Amino acid sequence: GDSVTQMEGPVTLSEEAFLTINCTYTATGYPSLFWYVQYPGEGLQLLLKATKADDKGSNKGFEATYRKETTSFHLEKGSVQVSDSAVYFCALTPNNYGQNFVFGPGTRLSVLP
Amino acid sequence: DAGITQSPRHKVTETGTPVTLRCHQTENHRYMYWYRQDPGHGLRLIHYSYGVKDTDKGEVSDGYSVSRSKTEDFLLTLESATSSQTSVYFCAIMRAGGEYEQYFGPGTRLTVT
């Protein structure tokens, strides 16, 4: 079945450091890919998405590129801030409307001042 | 903000008691979902609904039932709560338009003692 694998955390960085969180997936067909962010005590928020190969999703300084050849969707940010501390989830849906959304286990990011 | 509320936000209950969690949305979205979030597992789909009285099982549906008698409300019931159902439960909606984006409620933390 479809699955998502994320790098294990926690990830601890200093403010203004470069961030990469790796995500790889297994899916048949052409899934849509997402990154969600969860701040303490809150629900998940959609951070960015990509719906086809070579698409780049971006939002709030975060970027991720849909790489079909490597089945990857790595999250990057050039300069993290303390306010970016959260748990980040990679997810996919096989685009069979309303059905299977698959989430990775999440990667906790802590940014130190 | 997709106008999603969940109630209660926190609940402690005893093993063997029935529990109902409510998800309410204000934007008349057709698709609604119930997930549970556990450390190391990310989010796992319990049940989803694709319309009033139309529901289907997800990955971890055993021990749970759902009902949707109105577009705006999606109820999750634990018929006889067990300690393994201690978790954080999230409701989500999916907006129409082919983008497959999900939006989440704030969550309900359930403890079964």
Q: Looking at residue B98, what is its pLDDT?
A: 63
Contact check, Cβ <8 Å, B45/A104: no
- Are A31 and A94 in contact by the 8 Å Cβ rule? The answer is yes
How far does the CA of residue A16 sit from the closest CA of chain B (Å)? 27
Question: What does DSSP assign to residue A72?
Answer: B
Q: Which of A42, A93, A104 sits opposite B100 (nearest CB)?
A: A93
Residue B99 banded pLDDT, cuts 50, 70, 90: confident
Using CA atoms, how far apart are residues B12 and B108, in angstroms rounded to an integer?
A: 11
- Are B75 and A74 in contact by the 8 Å Cβ rule? The answer is no
CA atoms within 13 A on the CB side of A46: 20
* pLDDT tens sequence across A16-73: 999 999 999 999 888 999 999 999 888 999 999 999 899 999 999 999 999 999 999 9
Averaged pLDDT score across all residues of chain B: 93
CB contact A43 to B (< 8 Å): yes
Q: Looking at residue A66, what is its pLDDT?
A: 96
Chain A residues whose CB is inside 8 A of the B3 CB are none
Chain B residues whose CB is inside 8 A of the A32 CB are 99-100
* pLDDT tens sequence across B45-89: 999 999 999 999 998 999 999 999 999 999 999 999 999 999 999
Q: Looking at residue B2, what is its pLDDT?
A: 67
For residue A10, cis peptide bond before it (omega within 30 degrees of 0): yes
